[in-house]
């Protein structure tokens, strides 16, 4: 399809503008919108954006603490990723607007070291070079309130049909809009938390999964607004709540067959054991990327299925790494690994990149896997956890920062420049929060994702 045909097809669908979105180092979706007639130009030459978006913090402050971006000077180009007409999605919930995901490049068109999408693409290529195809999917939890007064949109009980009946019209609209926008989900249900709902995105290739996650939240926000509702994806909307995870599921295939499935006692292959072992080894650094915010740290509490401790288990929802095994009913292709400590404040491209890289490293090293833990270790005393080699994951900025900068894997995957900008954003968020209460911090993050 040539440029004029693409533009004409969008105009025939009454599209006036195309929003080009990307995700910053705080998990926030930033964007530019171009008139539909300017889309071909944007594809060829991009749209100018300031380089310092890489050092925006969660409160729209700009930090110049990272040496590589220490002045307000500099421009990069935001290019919509349009490899086929289907990459431009007329939004069912925003008539007249279409969506395209963006890539950031240097002003001369060369790769830009702060582009998060490229980081993930490199890990996908690495997996392919090793003979693996990666599949990934997010489970997205959200709290839904009424726009008018902030009251819960559904009254529970958790996981019940009665809860969803309170938001029937929104649910129907959301399911239709997701389908119209090309987003496949496995299910939707009322979750455990107060007025909480979860959708499970269907597995895709990693870049496609990240793209779908970004488009899904745009779709959800629009459907909610139509029905007088407001959605919070924040890791912890309030101290009293259960918190929202965006659990990240990954699996590997080789020659079209699930490479994690095997015949050991947990239904794992040697590749599957090594993959999980790589994730467990790198957990402190991984979660500093996959659950990086002040809200993430406050959410990381035992008993909340938030991955508070660094261990793995088979279908253990308190484990940071949960094996979801195959079964005679589900089939051998079902085996996948869930990272619980992942949330909306993560850039999904970076979250996937460090997760895949850790698993691939475990395979390359032939990393030995310890036995799974099938209990809630939060109920153990410190001595028992110490004897089992189980440590709590970071709950303070200082701990998480140390894990971030000391992780050789994270540094290798992100690169020194992007890691420097990422750390500067985390430091800026901590400085903002230093003299504020936890409630004030959580309120500041409640609606930004």
Q: Which residues are CB-contacts of 222 (< 8 A; sequence separation ≥ 6)?
A: 91, 92, 93, 94, 177
pLDDT > 90? residue 192: yes
Task: Please count the helices (runs of H) and the strands (runs of E) in the chain.
Answer: 15, 15
Q: pTM above the 0.95 mark?
A: yes
- The pLDDT of residue 334 is 95
- Residue of 334, 215, 207, 446 whose CA lies nearest to 199: 215
pLDDT band at 248 (very low <50, low <70, confident <90, very high): very high
Per residue in 304-363, pLDDT (tens digit) is 999 999 999 999 999 999 999 999 999 999 999 999 999 999 999 999 999 999 999 999
Average pLDDT over residues 131-148: 98
User: Which residue from 254, 265, 341 is spatially nearest to 296, judged by alpha carbons?
Assistant: 341
DSSP H helices in 267-415: 270-281, 283-290, 294-299, 348-365, 382-387, 397-406, 408-414
pLDDT tens digit string along 97-120?
A: 999 999 999 999 999 999 999 999
Domains of the chain: 3-106 (3.10.20.70), 122-445 (3.30.590.10)
* Of residues 163, 152, 172, the one with CA closest to residue 229: 152
Q: How far apart are CA 10 and CA 389, in angstroms?
A: 57
Instruction: Tell me which residue of 35, 37, 117 sits closest to 76, measured CA to CA.
Output: 117
């Amino acid at each position: 399809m040539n440029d004029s045909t693409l533009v004409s097809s969008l105009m025939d669908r009454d599209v006036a503008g195309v929003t080009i979105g990307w995700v910053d180092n705080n998990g926030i979706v930033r964007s530019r919108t171009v008139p539909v007639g300017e889309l071909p130009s944007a594809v060829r030459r991009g749209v100018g954006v300031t380089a310092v978006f890489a050092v925006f913090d969660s409160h729209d402050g700009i930090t110049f603490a990272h040496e590589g971006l220490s002045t307000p000077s500099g421009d990069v180009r935001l290019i919509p990723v349009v490899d086929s007409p289907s990459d431009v999605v007329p939004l069912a919930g925003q008539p007249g607007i279409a969506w395209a995901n963006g890539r950031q490049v240097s002003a001369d068109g060369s790769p830009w070291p702060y582009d998060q999408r490229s980081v993930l693409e490199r890990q996908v290529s690495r997996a392919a070079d090793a003979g693996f195809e990666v599949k990934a999917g997010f489970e997205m939890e959200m709290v839904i309130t009424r726009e008018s007064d902030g009251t819960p949109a559904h009254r529970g009980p958790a996981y019940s049909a009665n809860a969803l009946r309170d938001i029937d019209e929104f649910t129907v609209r959301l399911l239709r809009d997701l389908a119209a926008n090309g987003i496949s989900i496995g299910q939707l249900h009322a979750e455990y938390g107060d007025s909480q709902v979860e959708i499970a995105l269907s597995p895709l290739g990693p870049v496609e999964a990240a793209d779908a996650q970004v488009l899904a939240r745009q779709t959800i926000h629009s459907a909610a607004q139509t029905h007088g509702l407001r959605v919070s994806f924040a890791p912890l909307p309030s101290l009293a709540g259960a918190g929202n995870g965006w659990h990240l599921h990954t699996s590997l295939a080789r020659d079209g067959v699930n490479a994690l499935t095997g015949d050991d006692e947990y239904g794992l292959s040697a590749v599957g054991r090594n993959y999980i072992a790589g994730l467990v080894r790198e957990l402190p650094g991984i979660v500093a990327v996959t659950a990086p915010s002040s809200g993430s740290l406050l959410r990381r509490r035992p008993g909340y299925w938030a991955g508070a401790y660094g261990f793995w288990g088979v279908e253990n929802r308190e484990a940071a790494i949960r094996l979801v095994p195959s079964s005679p009913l589900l089939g051998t292709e079902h085996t996948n690994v869930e990272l619980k400590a992942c949330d909306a404040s993560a850039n999904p491209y970076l979250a996937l990149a460090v997760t895949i890289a850790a698993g691939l490293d475990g395979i390359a090293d032939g990393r030995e896997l310890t036995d799974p833990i099938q209990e809630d270790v939060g109920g153990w005393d410190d001595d028992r956890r110490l004897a089992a080699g189980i440590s709590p994951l970071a709950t303070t900025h200082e701990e998480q920062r140390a894990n971030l900068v000391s992780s050789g894997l994270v540094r290798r995957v992100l690169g020194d420049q992007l890691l420097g900008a990422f750390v500067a954003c985390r430091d800026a968020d901590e400085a903002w929060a230093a003299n504020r209460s936890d409630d004030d911090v959580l309120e500041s993050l409640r609606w930004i994702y």
